[in-house]
Structure 1
Amino acid sequence: MSKHIDRQPKLFVEIIQGLLANKLTLFLLLSIFVTALAVVQVTHLTRAQLISQDELLQQRDELDLEWRYLLVEEEFYSQHARIEEIAKTQLNMKRPTSKDEQVVVLQ
């Protein structure tokens, strides 16, 4: 029986042995992996913050629009002519005449 001779080197074992022999290369390789993972994490967090900012800006715009509608509504309800019309029609009120006026003298 002949010994089985493996003529192809074990690539993974050779790479690991090369990295362990050269500590600077190993350190740089690990640094690249850590930096790549940090870039992915920062990119993810940045996108999440941008989405949150867009939602808040949209909410601000909606609240600003609602505020403008409320100001217009307030102006509409505070018009003197409208108040006088409601007083006449719903409350049956009228302006007093000179006969209806009474003078009160305080001493």
Structure 2
Amino acid sequence: MKPKANHRQPNLFVEVLKGLAANKLTLALLVVIFASSLSVVQVTHFARQELIEQDQLLQERDELDLEWRYLLVEEEFYSQHARIEEIATMQLEMKRPTSQDEQVIVLP
């Protein structure tokens, strides 16, 4: 059987706490450094979230702009006078009224 050592090794964590308790300024600075590091991490996280959201909104804006351009081209195509007149005469069998087809209504 081995003989037990009479001296006990100091606990490092307890020694560090005793040293910090002895020097209040060091403890205060340590707390401030820890709080500021946490705030830097939090602000960086929020900034990255906002950047991701901005990128998504810019992409959505570009998609909507492209869709708007397609709609303008489609509107231009469907609003051409010659096309409307062709559809009116061919499909709907419409014709321009003559002076004999016109009737004038006089209101009292």
> CA separation in 1, counterparts of 2:105 and 2:88?
30
Normalised TM-score (structure 2)? 0.83
- Asked whether 1:79 is paired with 2:80, we answer yes
Runs (5+) with no aligned partner, structure 2: none
| Paired position in structure 2 for 1:40 | 41
After TM superposition, the structure 1 stretch with the greater mean CA deviation from structure 2, 85-94 or 36-45, is: 85-94
Residue 11 (structure 2) pairs with residue 20 (structure 1)? no
Q: CA RMSD in A?
A: 2.1
2:66 counterpart of 1:94: no
Structure 1 ranges of 4+ moved more than 4 A = 103-107
Q: How many residue pairs end up in the alignment? A: 103
Unaligned runs of 5+ in 1: none
Query: TM-score under structure 1 normalisation?
Result: 0.84
* Counterparts in 2 of 1:105 and 1:40: CA distance versus 1, 3 Å: closer
**Which amino acid in the other structure matches residue 75 of structure 2?**
E
